[in-house]
Structure 1
Amino acid sequence: MKRILLACSSGMSTSLLVKKMEEAAEEKGIEADIWAVSNDKAKTDMAKADVLLIGPQMRFMKKKLEKTAGELNIPLDVIDPVAYGRVDGEAVLNKALELMEK
């Protein structure tokens, strides 16, 4: 089971992206638990995740979250703004899987 956490400013703007990512995972036969939280909940939810992807509008939070992610050995990156804007669940899922393989 892959556990993918998305964080954005309120946790709501990524909800559609989560749905698209779940659909892409199902099509690929990948068992995944994908959820989105607001930036203030990201640190606590990281302990339950295999990877953290941050919404482009939260790029400024990356440095702050990297410390906790490093302590938990969780890869972290900012979601590509084009994939985010297009709600391209497959592209974002692929990025998460790629980060987990590193």
Structure 2
Amino acid sequence: MKIVLICAGGMSSSILSSRMTQAIIDKGLDASVSAHGVSSVEKHAVGADVVLVGPQIRYMLPIITQKVSPIPVAMIDMRDYGTANAVNVLNQALALIKETYNERL
């Protein structure tokens, strides 16, 4: 499972990415998470199961969604992003992947 986090420059989401990596290890999941700037979203979304967008660039959500379609895209909750709540963001990603997989069956 590949989770991609996108923010303005990739810096603020890298903190969340590091914490999510630990949450993935703690849960024993076979997954990876990476953080990138919005300018490289198409490159890094290749093979992704989900793309999560930082709230500071929520205005770009429709553009990002279009660029990476059919990969599911969602905005990260502002509180979870601001506090780097890795467990909540990981759960959001897992729920979106599950929802998308079930819809495609």
Q: TM-score range by the shorter chain?
A: over 0.9
**Cα RMSD for the two superposed structures:** 0.9
1:83 to 2:80 alignment:
yes
Sequence identity percentage: 35
Task: Report the CA distance between 1:38 and its aligned residue.
Answer: 0.4
Show the counterpart of 1:17.
16
CA distance, structure 2, for counterparts of residue 79 and residue 31 of structure 1: 21
For structure 2, list consecutive stretches of 5 or more residues without a partner in the other structure. Answer: 100-105
Out of 79, 89, 93, the residue aligned to residue 96 of structure 1 is 93
Task: Report the CA distance between 1:34 and its aligned residue.
Answer: 0.5
CA distance, structure 2, for counterparts of residue 61 and residue 32 of structure 1: 26
- In the TM superposition, structure 1's runs of 4+ consecutive aligned residues that sit over 4 Å from their partners are none
Question: TM-score scaled to structure 1, two decimals?
Answer: 0.92
CA distance, structure 1, for counterparts of residue 47 and residue 39 of structure 2: 15
For structure 1, list consecutive stretches of 5 or more residues without a partner in the other structure. Answer: none
Aligned length: 99
Amino acid across the alignment from 1:57: Q
SS in 2 for 1:5: strand
